[in-house]
Structure 1
Amino acid sequence: MDSTLRSSESASAAESNSAPRAPWHANLPLWMMSAPALLLFAVLVIVPLAMTLALTFYRFDPAIGPVAAFDLHNYAEVLGSSYFHTIFARTFGIAALVTLLCVVIGTPEAYILSRMGDPWRSIFLLVILAPLLVSVVVRAFGWSMLLNVNGLVNQLLGAFGFGPYKLLYTTFAIVIALIHVMLPFMVIPVWTALQRIDPQTENAALSLMASPAVTLWRIVLPQLVPGILSGSLIVFGLSASAFAIPGLLGGRRLKVAATTVYDQFLSSLNWPLGATIAVLLLIANLVVMLTYYRVLERRYTRSMG
């Protein structure tokens, strides 16, 4: 009897030893498991933003540079100057125009792309994504050569008896180059939203004697609103903070917020004022994007019931 008990105990002990054990981190709290990612986010994002925000309260002395002092003079200078008002109005005006044109161009482009079959869909998708493989600076220089007084665009206009026109260092040059850069960021979210639409809904509408235009307007377009909203937020945010294209195609005369920050940091060496412009650009960008998101989300929810 004792030998039988000992053998059963040894067997149960062997089974317990061979049973899979839970990993060591299974009992850790969730915040501790996400601590490495939170630490990396804090080092790369929160700390630089906090340092930039602290720099906005410094006072600039032309003789010795930034001086540590809790001073709101920089905010008063930016918010009370018509010069900076013009710069911010131009920045968000260009961003809004680029976003609108990207929606008008990118949404039909994504719809046509979704209706293509292989291999044409893959070819045109590669054509749309190809600009992302080229540096923004290279594309800006390419547009500067196209839009120059002796560039290809003016040569084509001259062949029809027009021009030459001053296209470089204008708002038109900035907008057309930003559209070229930002269009893939609009096409891809809309195309992704189209992939989630059941094609039978369109067939059902057409079978109920709805015209293709009505089907597109009443059935397809409302389901594309999330993709259009995502693409619009990305395009607007990137356009409002763009630096290379406005700097190279807008010249010294057409200032936007990003180029003004660059000038304050590297030309005037007024770091507190440059940091103040950067912080106000970030706040204004967030306010516009969140307002836009809330308004469209509310209308979309209401329209979809």
Structure 2
Amino acid sequence: MAAARARGSGKSRVGGMRRFGAKSARLRGGRGLPEGGAARHSACAFASRRPPPPSPFSPPPPRPPRRRWSFQGQQVLLPGGVTSLSWPPMDRYVVKRPHGEVGDGGGKRPRAERPAAGQPPWQEIRAEGLSCDYWLLFGKAEADVLFQQLEEEVEYFQGEMTKLRVFGKWHNIPRKQVTYGDPDLTYTYSGVTFSPKPWIPVLNRIRDRITSNTGHTFNFVLINRYKDGGDHIGEHRDDERELVPRSPIASVSFGACRDFVFRHCDSRGKNATRHIKPIKLQLAHGSLLMMKYPTNVYWYHSLPTRKSVLAPRINLTFRKVMTTGKK
């Protein structure tokens, strides 16, 4: 009787396992079964199937949400007046400018060179009272060559020219320093008046590249060499009276990447009147930072000590200095 019932239902027992016969396979999905049988048979068939292997064209699984960075108290100015408060650490102040646009809009200038293939465009760095442009001026290979030439050809000051007066006291400069420029120019910084040395070919090469990319000309450069992370420069503004009013300062960096920090004048020291977070940048090997007006009116900048940095860095700040008769 049991065997007859098994044959009649299309099922058989083999080794204690129940298997569906050909008839039940044809009836999957409910075709020819009484009401209720379709559900039972289709459910068993679905449970017995293995999940198909993932297709190479299947969409990837959803990614966990990324961490978003916010800059409290500062707004980043974007094209069209749009503001944003959530950017990655370096890019939070960066606004990409349209391709081909250079300078600060102050008059007609020579047409700038187009960036090389794969080279990122100009980037605008904006905050309250801060206006800077950032650019990778030299590729790595060319920057390496220029760095080596600077190491071999630049002659730094010695003796009394290596001291600065701070709060009435004389201190040794925690770095090497020298100035180059046009004849008959002078530049006074922290109580010391510098007379520039004549231009040398490597400096002319860098200066010409800046002019071809920005349209600005410069007649003076201050060079600082930091042998490692122990050498540094404190907070200061490049606002000396010898500078041409509202002229930009072009800062070119070679060598080790160091933190470059802007701090608003209203948020310095114990008597700060406002809480404005400092802006920290990392200037790449071969990069150009154009500090435009009114940055040096409202913001101090510094290169703080970083003991973990063991390699040297050379920074050149090209300036427009007034001639003696115009001061």
Q: Same fold (TM over 0.5)?
A: no
RCO comparison, higher one (Cα < 8 Å, 6+) = 1
Richer in strand (by share): 2
What is the TM-score of this pair, normalised by structure 2? Answer: 0.23
Richer in helix (by share): 1
